[in-house]
Structure 1
């Protein structure tokens, strides 16, 4: 069983997947910061200073107006946090756009490399004597 595990871990696909997961986690932190620290304030500015994360509707419980979502949850109120859902959609759209741009860039690089490889002249080995030339040479040697 240990040998099977070593074989499984040593496969290239497993290592590629592990690298992808680690990079994905780091990328998620970057995107969260970009959305939370850069894009949300701009969107909030256009929406009149509204913070989407604190948009909610109280289903049951007593919550004073203007209470933050976190405080409402700590007070035990059942809340319908539609603002957090809106932020999740915005995050998804931003991540999808960034991934699209990355894939687009990688495809362009691959196409450029393929075009460069196609355009590179294929070095042909210098042509040696043909079979006929060799036979004629042998014939001439035999005549002498």
Structure 2
């Protein structure tokens, strides 16, 4: 088998194509979630807190030259992204949850075997 044929067999397997689509959609979705967190959630949560502390920008927070504000901003951003993803995955799982199938009754074979058993008990 030639190199081109091997590469073609590898590149166009279902798993590789599905993975590529997942990565592309994940990158686009990551931008949406990042924008939601940075532009909507973080300002709504942090602006009142920062005004109470007296810092208009979280990146300005520092102590003895250690800029812990940047780290704090990254932690808060991570927690917000994790919470949004948790809510989205929870909603997706609730929507895609398969309906529970009621257990089927006994098969004809089981009914016949039960009748035979009962007849043998009665003798």
Do the structures match in fold with TM over 0.5? yes
What is the alpha-carbon distance in structure 2 between the residues aligned to residue 20 and residue 81 of structure 1?
37
- Shift of the 15–32 alpha-carbon distance from structure 1 to 2, 3 Å rule, reads same
1:55 matches 2:61: yes
TM-score, length of structure 1 as denominator length: 0.54
Aligned to 1:45: 48
* Aligned residue among 20, 23, 27 for 1:21: 23
* Aligned residue among 70, 92, 109 for 1:106: 92
Which structure is higher in strand share?
1
Larger CA Rg, structure 1 vs 2 = 1
What is the alpha-carbon distance in structure 1 between the residues aligned to residue 35 and residue 4 of structure 2?
41
Please, which runs of 5 or more residues in structure 2 have no aligned partner? 105-123
Aligned residues: 100
Please, which runs of 5 or more residues in structure 1 have no aligned partner? 60-79, 122-144
Structure 1 vs Structure 2 CA RMSD: 3.0
Deviating 4+ runs (over 4 angstroms): 56-59
Which structure is higher in helix share?
2
